[in-house]
Structure 1
Amino acid sequence: MLRASRKQELKERIFTQAVKLFKEKGFDNVTVEEITQACGIAKGTFYNYFPKKEAVLLHLAESQLKSVHESIQRNENMPDLKQQLLLLFSDLFRRYAEQPDMIRLVVSEMMRADMFIHAEIRILERFRQALAALLEDAKNKGQLTTQAASEDIAAVLTGVYFNSLMIWLSAGSNTIRIEMLFQRHFDIVWEDIRSRGVVKQ
């Protein structure tokens, strides 16, 4: 367990140092060798964690997806579905609040490069599937009664999340709090879900 924790810490350190270099010099101008020198590691160690430089950018999306699964597992016995969903998204937004400049850089680089489109779509689909499974479980527990398919509700919530992210990104350094923005949009969607069935509070 300790070894896995250390490996995760090193992966995060490589990611953080790489993104700092991307910010200073531009993504295209940074080499793997420069990243490894900044981290004080061998090239082979870098490739143990990332198959190529571009994979560093995907680490953010992968770690956010991991956060989703951890939140679902941690709060699986919570009787209030709305609170469970809000805690899940709050976990995602925490990193945005802690490292806003880093997040903006990584997301903008990923959007700029065509090579990430298929990988992003796969991660987005896994994100949507995780939400759909959570909603389906809530239906099975009687926490949610609605005619709407869990997959459709998950798709709408995913859209609200990414819409909030895009607004936050376009605001630049302006102090838009992404979590508050998401909450406003989420509340509108939640009212519609409640109107179509029963949500246990």
Structure 2
Amino acid sequence: MGLREEKQARQRALIIENAIALFRERGFDAVRIREIAEACAISDATFFNYFGTKDALLREWAELELDTSLVLGTRRAGAGGLRRVVGQWAAEWARRIGGEPELMAEAWSRMRFGDLGVGTDSARGRLSRTDSLEALVAEAQRVGNIRSDLEPRLLAQLIRNCLAGSVSSWLAEPEGERAQTLQNRLVQGAGVLLDGFRKRNERVPAPRASQKPNSSPSDS
């Protein structure tokens, strides 16, 4: 990365950091783009060089939170397989969402699932990155833990969309009507999907009963 690209990456990160701080303090709708620009000591025009809308900025922050959760979940899973990684990822993501559910709900209500994990490398200051989930799926295929007749990128995208859809639906439900904790919802949904990744003719164990929100998490 050259000096120019590094400077642009720092500027993009600063815009996200300052914007999210304002959103947390006053709410997403109450913050204007001009106020974000002023907090970053840049012009409105410079802001638009990095982000077309506030929505785009919020979506990128949410995806960065998702990716950070995956990194931490992978680290905590150690040498565990793909299912354990996803379980740890779900636990970390649920913890982060639980810390600021209102802002997360704003973000995930605006998310376009087809963009998850894809990135827009041409966007100013956005770093090109390797998809670590795709690498995990490819390794699981290599050692024979899951089916290998489909591209790792497709399977990784399915996992992301499954978890993102579970988060969006959970956040949209009235708090008193949620039948599961978010972590259990994520683990159960991903588990059903991963069962479909199994090698042909491999026997699938019966799913566990779901837990109520006040129950202890079954997979952490």
Q: Same fold (TM over 0.5)?
A: yes
CA contact 2:101–2:171 (8 Å) conserved in 1: no
Partner of 1:43: 42
Matching residue of 2:101: 100
- Structure 1's unaligned 5+ residue stretches are 112-116
Aligned-pair CA distance for 1:161: 0.9
The equivalent position to 1:154 in structure 2, one of 151, 156, 166, is 156
Distance 1:169 1:62 in 2: 16
Q: 1:43 to 1:152 in 2, by over 3 A?
A: closer
> Hey, what does 2:23 align to over in structure 1?
18
Equivalent positions of 1:80-95 (< 5 A) are: 80-95=81-96
User: What is the CA distance between 1:145 and its match in structure 2?
Assistant: 4.3
- Residue 141 of structure 2, aligned match among 139, 157, 166: 139
Match of 1:114 in 2: none
Say whether 1:179 aligns with 2:183: yes
| Residue-by-residue CA offset, 1:106-144 (whole Å, 9 max, x unaligned) | 233x25xxxxx5xx63334359x543321112232x261
Percent of pairs with identical residues: 16
Secondary structure at the counterpart of residue 193 of structure 1: coil
Separation (CA, whole Å) in 2 of partners of 1:168 and 1:68: 18
Q: 1:192 to 1:83 in 2, by over 3 A?
A: same
Counterpart amino acid of 2:161?
G
- The alpha carbon displacement at 1:186 in A equals 2.3
What root-mean-square deviation, in Å, do the aligned CA atoms of Structure 1 and Structure 2 show?
Answer: 4.1
CA change 1:143–1:68 in 2 (3 A) is farther
Q: Are 2:115 and 1:122 aligned?
A: yes
Does the 8 Å contact 2:62/2:104 carry over to 1? no
Write the distance in 1 (CA, Å) between the matches of 2:116 and 2:183. 21
Structure 1 Cα separation of the partners of residues 175 and 73 of structure 2: 31
Cα pair distance change 1:19/1:101, threshold 3 Å: same
Q: Does structure 1 residue 188 correspond to structure 2 residue 192?
A: yes
Inter-partner Cα distance in structure 1 for 2:203 and 2:148: 10
Q: Decide whether aligned partners of structure 1 residues 148 and 157 sit closer, same or farther in structure 2, where only a CA change above 3 A counts.
A: farther
Distance in 2 (alpha carbons) for counterparts of 1:12 and 1:167: 26
TM-score (norm 1): 0.64
Q: Name the amino acid aligned to 2:183.
A: E
| Cα offsets for 1:68-107 (capped at 9, x unmatched) | 5634763685143321222223333322111101111223
- Measured at CA, do residues 73 and 157 of structure 1 come closer, stay the same or move farther in structure 2, by a change above 3 Å? closer
